[in-house]
Structure 1
């Protein structure tokens, strides 16, 4: 939950910085060069590093299927942070969204009954996971180039969420290696792949934030990450979740998450980044 709160704060700060960048810097190194000159963006990355460390600590204690879904709480945290930073007032619509998201998360966690696996991914598993992730991300990026800004931001948010989920899987394996042999961790390929995947995720996120409002990007990112992470946890680490009749409350929990995201997408307050006043 602390990692989710830090991610929310970082997203708000990144949004403010990214919207100030020139539109002609889309998908170029100039976008990053513009951002690194902004103290707000530097602060956002600092908070993101803290979130990364907190997430790694959590993954050292439990599996992806338990830790990553909790990050969904990032979205309500985002709303509260915007409220505190920019003095906006929450209405019934926002409170409904918060209750839906938190209730959906609780229902999903209880229904899945996630248990951490004891398997270590083999090379074939990593190759399959990497190829699947790369192909999906490439397809999402290609599709985003064909749509308007809102659709582009949403698709890039999903692509970023997939990359963050894959980064978390690599982080989990790296933390397991660190626990077993601290001296060996820097000699494992997972650490360097984790850094590369994290940079790719951050790059996609900057472009998503550059093209759309926070509320368009945040739900797609926040929901995609834990759902994909559950898949990685089951496929790579042998995590277990309950199926059968339990699929009904699990789907209900996911539906509540999407409903809460939809309600937030209708809020004029979450889109406020301190640059343009929200309409009422």
Structure 2
């Protein structure tokens, strides 16, 4: 659980750096999966530092996935939005509303409930078709991203965000199905190819979603995609359980943590919050009803 929470800290901090880099990169074509955007973003040091933190986060996540149930790890990953919100507040001088500070507390409470009730990971490898299903899901994520560029702005952001979250979820489940790291064993394991394809595609979709769509819509879709599906797979097919008699607190903690993360969805891209604050700053001091910062809806920004 410590590794899962440390992973959330890393990825939450990385989001602040990567979001600023993605927004600073010049937009490319209208395609849902923009490989050139990824390359342009990677020319900036903030994005590279963010990638390094992502790598550390992934390593910690693997340790957690091999020790505790998927539902606990994925709830921690969703809770990284609370980390992003706090980092944005202190480093980028983004003002958190009272409701958002409450959401940070709600996320923390949910994770505490999960931490107290979490049991050991399941020992089942699931049905034989599961690795192939994961590979099919990874291809579906890629196709969804390819067609997302033709959708209207808000629908495009939702598809890109949900696709990215689903891709990250496929990665999490695939890790559990890889029990032999020998090259010959990896080459014969469909879960390995699902991990590679889903992970790469998820990063592409998320970068495109950050630049082209509503941050709140995209991040909400990502949180749903990366938490619910993998948690169900872990419980139904991989044998994940809680401590004896603590199934209800674990379930409540999972729902509470994810709900709190959704309330912080605008911090899926910290640079957007900075833009909101900057645009609101000249209007402060006029009093209520004059378009001050307090009247701006979370996640508002151009649809690109």
Q: What is the TM-score of this pair, normalised by structure 2?
A: 0.74
User: How many residue pairs get matched?
Assistant: 273
Cα distance, 1:140 vs. partner?
7.2
- In the alignment, structure 1 residue 81 sits paired with structure 2 residue 87: yes
Distance 1:82 1:196 in 2: 31
RMSD over aligned CA atoms reads 3.6
Cα distance, 1:146 vs. partner?
1.8
The 5-angstrom pairing of residues 1-280 of structure 1 reads: 1-26=5-30, 27-106=33-112, 115-132=120-137, 134-135=139-140, 138-139=143-144, 142=147, 145-148=150-153, 150-174=154-178, 176-178=179-181, 187=187, 189=189, 190-212=191-213, 214-240=215-241, 250=251, 254=255, 257-258=258-259, 261-262=262-263, 265=266, 271-273=272-274, 277=278, 279=280, 280=293
Q: Secondary structure in 2 aligned to 1:56?
A: helix
Q: Which runs of 5+ in 1 are unaligned?
A: none
Distance 2:269 2:259 in 1: 18
Cα distance, 1:64 vs. partner?
1.4
Q: Secondary structure in 1 aligned to 2:79?
A: helix
Change (3 A) 1:224 1:249: same
Change (3 A) 1:170 1:273: farther
Does the Cα contact within 8 Å between 2:81 and 2:261 map onto a contact in 1?
no
Q: Secondary structure in 2 aligned to 1:146?
A: coil
More helix by share: 1
Change (3 A) 1:183 1:21: closer
Change (3 A) 1:133 1:265: same
Q: In terms of Rg, which structure is larger?
A: 2
Change (3 A) 1:226 1:269: closer
Does the Cα contact within 8 Å between 2:113 and 2:249 map onto a contact in 1?
no
Q: What is the TM-score of this pair, normalised by structure 1?
A: 0.79
Distance 2:242 2:260 in 1: 23
Distance 2:275 2:87 in 1: 12
Distance 2:96 2:24 in 1: 26
Change (3 A) 1:145 1:106: farther
Offset from partner CA, 1:46-77 (integer Å, 9 cap, x none): 11111111111112222313322222220110
Q: Which runs of 5+ in 2 are unaligned?
A: 281-292, 294-304
Distance 1:128 1:186 in 2: 17
Does the Cα contact within 8 Å between 2:242 and 2:250 map onto a contact in 1?
no
Cα distance, 1:15 vs. partner?
1.0
Does the Cα contact within 8 Å between 1:93 and 1:264 map onto a contact in 2?
no
Offset from partner CA, 1:175-224 (integer Å, 9 cap, x none): x335xxx6766555344432222111111111111113544433332343
Change (3 A) 1:260 1:161: closer
